[in-house]
């Protein structure tokens, strides 16, 4: 589904602070894969997602999506097929709109309509039924502004909004990092449930080794713009936390 060919990306090009990151970087994701991405700060994890969804332009190379080149497509065009959930829960929703209005925006993604019409087109009963799977009681708060929700509630809503439009690719950028451990695990269980339900190809960045082992069917580790570990299927299931930690620490020596 997704192919990155010979990607090069340098920050602050032709300045004293020039910082090359990706050099002839190649990476493929098959349709239906749930890929977990590990790596230290500066390894290229978020940059990888930014290149895929068009927030950053490549210096050289090609990005193919379903055999169509999208290297130079603007991010709003890529958003027709790609959804993203960020670390900051406030980035995935419109805080001054109500829960029902936010859900209407997501369910009508890509369709021409005004907000009132959008709410009318998608029944409140239907939205409430979708929200019940979050197990957070949001179906009882349809007219509450998102600004009044907790971080965990807002992130759960962001995740649901990202998948209900049936994107072909879901990008999760450390989407549980700002949450407490209990809420983080609830969001991770919800993540796996929604990915399976909507059958969405997914790339998820995490710093949590336990989550990298527990979720997804493929795990890659980035270091200084290179894939230094790529395991899937049974090999991933056999991985132990101490093995991943040892590999991670060996890269910093």
Which residue would you say has higher pLDDT here, 251 or 48?
48
Tell me, what's the pLDDT at 115? 57
Residue whose token pair is 């979050």? 134
> Which residues make beta-bridge pairs with 232?
218
Tell me, what's the pLDDT at 252? 62
CATH number of 2-93+151-159+166-251: 3.40.50.300
Asked if the model's pLDDT at residue 17 lies above 70, the reply is yes
pLDDT in tens, 23-41: 999 999 999 999 999 988 8
pLDDT in tens, 94-107: 999 999 999 998 98
Over residues 111-139, the mean pLDDT reads 79
CB 85 within 8 A of CB 173: yes
Tell me, what's the pLDDT at 249? 73
Give the span between the Cα atoms of 7 and 96, in whole angstroms. Answer: 39
DSSP three-state, residue 138: helix
> Which sequence spans correspond to the domains of the chain?
2-93+151-159+166-251
Over residues 42-49, the mean pLDDT reads 93
pLDDT tier for residue 119 given thresholds of 50, 70 and 90:
low
Over residues 55-59, the mean pLDDT reads 96
Tell me, what's the pLDDT at 214? 93
Which residue would you say has higher pLDDT here, 242 or 132?
132
Asked if the model's pLDDT at residue 128 lies above 80, the reply is yes
Residue whose token pair is 């997704």? 2
Burial (CB count <10 Å: 0-12, 13-18, 19+), residue 74: exposed
Residue 24's H or E segment, with its range, is strand 19-29
Q: Output the average pLDDT for the chain.
A: 91
In angstroms, how far is the first alpha carbon of the chain from the final one? Answer: 35
Which residue would you say has higher pLDDT here, 202 or 122?
202
Give the span between the Cα atoms of 25 and 40, in whole angstroms. Answer: 18
Asked if the model's pLDDT at residue 197 lies above 60, the reply is yes
Considering only 160-164, 223-227, 237-241, which range has the smallest mean pLDDT?
237-241
Report the share of the chain in percent with pLDDT over 70. Answer: 94
pLDDT tier for residue 67 given thresholds of 50, 70 and 90:
very high
């Amino acid at each position: 589904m997704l192919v990155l060919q010979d990607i090069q990306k340098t920050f602050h090009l032709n300045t004293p602070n020039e910082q090359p990151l990706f050099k002839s970087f190649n990476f493929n994701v098959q349709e239906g894969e749930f890929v977990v991405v590990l790596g230290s700060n500066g390894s290229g994890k978020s940059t990888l997602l930014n290149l895929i969804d068009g927030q950053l332009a490549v210096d050289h190379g090609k990005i193919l999506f379903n055999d169509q080149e999208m290297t130079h497509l603007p991010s709003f065009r890529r958003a027709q097929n790609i959804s993203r959930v960020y670390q900051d829960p406030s980035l995935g929703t419109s805080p001054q709109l109500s829960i029902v209005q936010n859900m209407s925006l997501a369910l009508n993604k890509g369709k021409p309509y005004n907000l009132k019409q959008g709410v009318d087109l998608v029944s409140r009963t239907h939205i409430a039924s979708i929200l019940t799977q979050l197990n957070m009681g949001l179906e009882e708060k349809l007219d509450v502004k998102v600004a009044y929700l907790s971080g965990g509630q807002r992130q759960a809503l962001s995740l649901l909004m990202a998948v209900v439009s049936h994107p072909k690719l879901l990008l999760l950028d450390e989407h549980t990092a700002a949450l407490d451990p209990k809420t983080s695990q609830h969001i991770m269980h919800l993540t796996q449930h929604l990915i399976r339900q909507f059958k969405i190809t997914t790339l998820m960045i995490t710093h949590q080794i336990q989550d990298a082992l527990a979720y997804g069917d493929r795990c890659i580790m980035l270091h200084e713009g290179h894939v230094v570990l790529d395991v899937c299927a049974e090999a991933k299931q056999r991985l132990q936390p101490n093995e991943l930690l040892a590999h991670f620490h060996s890269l910093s020596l």
